[in-house]
Structure 1
């Protein structure tokens, strides 16, 4: 992911997909990927495989999920990332930079 502010090397120990969380008012939300590192960092990833560019509204929705997660798990160090195979609008890219959301537009092969 590009634009990641915390470049600490992660030792991912547990990965969960489609993790459900709930806002204080009862609204259910889903995180695509939650990866837990041995250093107490949690990586939250939104994945969009469409060829359509991601816009500001989708990023704001993801940021809300990140904030809810932080409220539910206040001791966790949360790193947010967004994978969009279709890319990002300029406005969405700026939002990611401002909020420290890492971005990727393709899946890297190891």
Structure 2
């Protein structure tokens, strides 16, 4: 079953580009309407939040992709184990042990421990 997302994937580069354009407009507006400088500062702060969120989304997307890959690898190892058991192999659990060892080593390399 395919995994569907309830929300479309954001085009983060487009978001960042629009953010840059908005900042340029704010710079222009704030220099011509000094009485609104405080208001423009609030808008600039909100734009800073957008960039922070874009960075967090990028990081979370990478982590989610890694977890999906790990899950697929575990499922493949489980299927291989069941097939090996069905075929009467001497050590059908080898496939699961091997995959779990590989994932543990990957976590250790990333410093997750566990």
> TM-score scaled by structure 2?
0.26
> TM-score scaled by structure 1?
0.27
The structure with the larger Rg is: 2
Higher fraction of strand: 1
Which structure has more relative contact order (CA 8 Å, sep 6+)? It is 1
